[in-house]
Amino acid sequence: MKTVLYPGSFDPVTNGHLDIIKRASKMFDEVTVGVLVNSQKSPMFTADERTALIQEAVKDLPNVKVVQFGGLLVDYVVKEGITAIVKGLRAISDFEMELQMASMNKKLNDDAETIFMMTATEYSYLSSSLVKEVFRFGGEIEGLVPTNVYQYMHTKKRV
């Protein structure tokens, strides 16, 4: 079985993330969306909230599961028997950073293959950070995040 891991903070998950998940689900037997638990970040949503929001957004994709993990990505890949890591790219700047991480993962585990997928053009400007910033200042984020995330964000305070 070909299983791919799509790791990220997903704070919040955007329609750009969802595009990559949907496309990867057509290419692989199973897609594991890995919500990173990173104590160095101050997320808008807890790991449990992010996991639940993604699960709701992908509920119609039977070969997608959502998990939380911390520590080294390559350790998780080995432990779970994952075939490859998928990363979405919006721009050249993403490629530079992602190439560095993919190279380090490959150095740590020669079997750690990374597949880069270009995001759909309509989402090439979209990032979780940008969505949060627009939201905090009262801007409209409809169409930038899945409907369930949009609704949930409106229950949160604009801080």
| pLDDT tens per residue across all 159 residues of the chain | 789 999 999 999 999 999 999 999 999 999 999 999 876 778 899 999 999 999 999 999 999 999 999 999 999 999 999 989 999 998 887 888 899 999 999 999 998 899 999 999 999 999 999 999 999 999 999 999 999 999 999 987 644
| C-alpha 112: how far from chain center | 18
Residue at 129: amino acid letter? S
**Sequence-distant (≥ 6) Cβ neighbours of residue 53 within 8 angstroms:** 10, 12, 13, 45, 146, 148, 149, 152
**Distance separating alpha carbons of residues 99 and 25, to the nearest angstrom:** 23
**Sequence-distant (≥ 6) Cβ neighbours of residue 66 within 8 angstroms:** 32, 33, 35, 51, 54, 55, 58
So which residues are the catalytic ones? 17, 41, 90, 128
